[in-house]
Chains A and B, each alone.
Chain A
Amino acid sequence: MTSTTVAPGREALQWVHIRTVARTDLKQLAQARDYWIPMLILGALFFVFVPTVLLLTITQIGSVDAVSQISQILDVLPESASRQIPGDTGAGRAGYALAVYLFAPVAVVVPITISTAVGAATIVGERERGTGEFLAHSPAGIREIFLGKLLASLIPGYLTTVIGFGVYALIVNTIVGPDVGGWFFPTRQWWILMLWVVPPFLALTLSLVLRLSAKVKSTAAAQQASALVSLPLIIVAYSQATGSLYGGDAVAWYIGGVAWLLAIVALWRGVRSVTRARLLGVADEK
């Protein structure tokens, strides 16, 4: 039998281990209604309920006050963004601006909130339930366990967002489309936002959250600490996501690129924070 000698935690990554850890965590999440029901409610609230009410108010009911207020917002949009808004009526232009620019941060808030809630408990939870012992004695490498758990935290948030995004597109096109000359959403900037800007912000947040999850002593502490980390990131992501839509394609690509770089550094540091000793609940191993 051949055997390899490598530094602890530096074995070659085996995708099958990453996939198995992720799939098992997701399976457990699916069994936990107390996790995914609030997740669905959050997604529905941001992607369906709030936009529907606002857009219907503006375009169908024709609330003069609301249209007037939104029109004022159009005045403060950057020139480049303002120029792209089609439509002849105030209601149509206001609806378009709401749909394309003002709901953009929702695409960031929802996945980060959901994924943080899942990720905060993922490593410390193994320790609290005693299942960390099983993983610590398994052939899975520590980096594989970390990446598997990262995926299992990332997928629910991102999946909710992608599905919510689809439903949201349907809603805004149905409600606002007739006033602006047909279906218009998603715009090119939204595609870049969803596929290039949101994923690294999510990975960056989760790397920090998983790192915290490995270090704290209880799930409650992990959730408290995660809120401290994710709230500033949500604010940064909020402003950057909005800016990426306002500023055109180049800005979006640039913001996404920087976010990816930060995410990679955070991932690299996050992986190193998890050890078998931490899975076993021993924090001060040399």
Chain B
Amino acid sequence: MNAITSTPADTLGGVPTPEPVVLLEKVTKAFGPAMALADLNLRVPSGQITVLLGPNGAGKTTAIRTITGAFSPDSGVIKVFGLDPTMQGREVRSRCGVVSAKPSLYDRLSGQDNLRYSAELHGLGRGPGVDARIAHCARRFGIDEALDNQVGGYSTGMKTRLALARSILHQPELLLYDEPTSGLDPESSHAVLELIREMTNDGSTVMMCTHLLLEAEGLADQVVILQDGSDIIDGSPDALTKRFWPEAMVRLSTDDPVALDALAHHEGVVAYERADHVATLRLDRPERIPDLVFALTAAGSRVTRVEPHEPTLEDLYFAVRQASGHTRLGAVDGSTV
């Protein structure tokens, strides 16, 4: 592994930015002939939710395992809290809370004993103080009433909640969640994602891996899209959306196709397409939409639909994949890279 250089702050265009909680620079990791991470770059800013998006095998889980020092990288630089997890793994791991895709719980033990095990390994010890902390965390995730039962009898949702409670027991600064809603029903998934959102209110930094785009929608402060062990692009969802859809989009529908077509030459309309009675327009700015509606009604058309189109993360993901092929597109304005 390359030597780690310690810098108090990095700069972006001359503007100092706070040191990220996690920093990966050109990290590679191979298992035999298989390349799990290929020059992966990653910055996880403090107090935010960073979502790693990518298909199965993109390197998301390996990235987490490298961050905690469970794997040593073949090359590249890794800093977590400014520490090298390969050489200072104990300290790094004691400041991280991890939930893996499988909850990693001991089925023969009770929920309480699972949490006590983690508490002791993280140096919280035993006693009434720790039990109170366990009860608090369990209550937060709605699992407190099942704590005395053997985990083998828990539902998948209960196991996930217990694993989440375990991850925050020692009040870690960095939470690493690897597909935390894997196997959950939609209602439980929603509840878990809400709880993850709440984590950042306590000042925690969250890095979450998922291949489910809907999960990241509305949750991510920063998105990093991975493919074949490399980061293709990263940035805030807004910044990424602006990059791929710089113009505003609106769908309009009327009973008069001729009036619709006249909008193609309206001021601010960048592109125009129509299929039957529905037109899709790209505008230089969203404030044009009322003018277009006014123009249609002034021409005597009955407007039946005005639908500003906001690209979803799914749209973004596929746009990125399509645009990138296998090349790195880099960071987007507004991102931390």
Contacts and interface: CB of A to CB of B under 8 A. Distances in A.
* Co-assembled chains A and B: yes
Interface of A: 1, 3-8, 11, 16-17, 20-21, 24, 27-28, 31-32, 129-134, 136-141, 276-277, 279-280, 282, 284-286
A20 B91 contact: no
A21 B117 CA distance: 8
Contacts of A284: 31-32
6 contacts: A8-B87, A16-B123, A31-B150, A133-B98, A276-B69, A284-B32
Given A5-B87, A5-B88, A137-B70, A20 B121 contact: yes
B106 A7 contact: no
B88 A137 contact: no
B236 to A, nearest CB: 28
Contacts of B94: 139
Contacts of A27: 109, 113
A277 B86 CA distance: 13
Contacts, number: 102
Contacts of A282: 31, 71
B184 to A, nearest CB: 16
B86 A130 contact: no
A130 B151 CA distance: 14
Interface in B84-132: 84, 86-91, 93-94, 96, 98, 100, 102-109, 113, 117-118, 120-123
B310 interface: no
Most chain A CB atoms below 10 A, which of B68, B71, B84: B71
B31 A285 contact: yes
A20 B84 contact: no
Given A140-B121, A282-B31, A286-B74, A130 B102 contact: yes
B171 interface: no
B162 to A, nearest CB: 12
A138 B94 CA distance: 7
Interface of B: 30-32, 65, 68-72, 74, 83-84, 86-91, 93-94, 96, 98, 100, 102-109, 113, 117-118, 120-123, 150, 176
B62 to A, nearest CB: 9
Contacts of B84: 5
A139 B31 contact: no
B88 A277 contact: no
A277 B68 CA distance: 12
B122 A276 contact: no
A17 B94 CA distance: 13
A131 B90 contact: no
B90 A11 contact: yes
A24 B114 CA distance: 9
Given A8-B86, A137-B68, A20 B117 contact: yes
Nearest to B87: A5
Contacts of A133: 98, 100, 102, 104
Most chain A CB atoms below 10 A, which of B91, B107, B113: B91
Nearest to A24: B117
Given A4-B88, A24-B117, 19 more contacts: A3-B83, A5-B88, A6-B87, A8-B89, A16-B120, A17-B121, A20-B120, A27-B113, A32-B108, A130-B103, A131-B105, A133-B102, A134-B105, A136-B70, A137-B70, A138-B121, A139-B123, A279-B70, A286-B30
B252 to A, nearest CB: 52
B261 to A, nearest CB: 59
B108 A141 contact: no
A276 B74 CA distance: 15
Given A5-B84, A32-B108, A139 B100 contact: no
Contacts of B86: 8
Nearest to A9: B89
Contacts of A129: 106-107
B118 A138 contact: yes
A63 to B, nearest CB: 47
Contact of B70 (A21, A24, A32, A280): A280
Contacts of B90: 4, 11, 139, 141
A249 to B, nearest CB: 43
Contacts of A32: 108
B5 to A, nearest CB: 15
B173 to A, nearest CB: 11
Nearest to A131: B104
A129 B98 CA distance: 17
Given A31-B109, A276-B70, A7 B100 contact: no
Nearest to A29: B108
B122 A285 contact: no
Nearest to A28: B108
A31 B109 CA distance: 8
A285 B87 contact: no
A138 B93 contact: yes
A280 B65 contact: yes
Nearest to B152: A31
A136 B120 contact: no
A64 to B, nearest CB: 53
Contacts of B98: 133-134, 137
4 closest residue pairs by CB, A with B? A134-B104, A130-B102, A137-B98, A139-B94
Most chain A CB atoms below 10 A, which of B69, B88, B109, B121: B121
Nearest to A141: B90
Contacts of A276: 69-71
A3 B88 contact: yes
B72 A285 contact: yes
